[in-house]
Amino acid sequence: MDTIQEQFDAVSQKYDSQRHYLIPCYQDFYTACFPLIKLLPQAKTVLDIGAGTGLFSYFLYQLRPELHFTLVDLSPEMLNVAKQRFAELPNFAYQQLDFSAASLPGQYDIIISSLAIHHLEDEAKSQLYQNVYAALNPGGLFINADQVAGRTIGFDTFYKQNWKETVTTSGLDEDAIQRAFERIKLDKFATLEAQLQMLERAGFTDVDCIYKNLNFVVFGGTKGALTL
């Protein structure tokens, strides 16, 4: 079986066009965090962990084009697509990084991630959340848009079967469907509850899930109390 980097290098040029088929709640998934982002008008810097082609950063850029973005990812080919996307913009930087094993570079007001952290074992997830907390400025916000395991075996099985049925009938071509099914074999989903607890243990103050559609969730926490 190919490694995570090899599989995502291979799909990099087609990645964005497939998102609508593979994420049934596509628009809400990437924009559910916007009300929280609006609570941080003084924010200047964003780190996108496992940024891939920069899709999550692109959504956030539409809301806050003045922010300075740093995109990190294990796959150089995915980052190359991100570089093409933001080629004319001076407020984007890129770094190839194995974020499961390395500390995070710099300090940021907002840290985001989408469909990346579920590739890590639970111990590595917990360590990453500690690294995220350390890399956030006081008052900072962390948002993770990801897939999670069901709370029970029954719901976990339902979520996985429902997603496969949805993708199979989505209109996506057969080769892309089979590649997606191969990639999910590398996934290491953890429950939402377990990850919220990881964030709390890492030091995050206000922690919660802000969006859930079956096993697609958006959750996060603040470094310091949530200021309204």
With respect to CATH, is domain 4-222 assigned 3.30.565.10?
A: no
Q: How many CB atoms lie within 10 A of CB 15?
A: 18
Write out the E strands in the chain.
45-49, 68-73, 92-96, 108-114, 136-147, 207-213, 216-222
Q: Is this structure's pTM higher than 0.85?
A: yes
Is residue 6 very low, low, confident or very high in pLDDT (cuts 50, 70, 90)? very low
Task: Output the pLDDT for position 215.
Answer: 96
Please, are residues 192 and 148 in contact by the beta-carbon 8 Å criterion? Answer: yes
Residue 186 has pLDDT above 70, yes or no: yes
Helix (H, G, I), strand (E, B) or coil at 8: helix
Question: Which residues are bridge partners to 72 per DSSP?
Answer: 49, 95
Residue from 59, 163, 56, 159 nearest 114 by CA:
56
Q: State the pairing for strand pair 207-213/136-147.
A: unpaired
**pLDDT tens column, 13-49:** 456 777 888 999 999 999 999 999 999 999 999 999 9
* Annotated domain spans of the chain: 4-222
**pLDDT tens column, 89-133:** 999 999 999 998 889 999 999 999 999 999 999 999 999 999 999
Task: Output the pLDDT for position 14.
Answer: 54
- Region of poorest pLDDT, from 4-18, 76-90, 201-215: 4-18
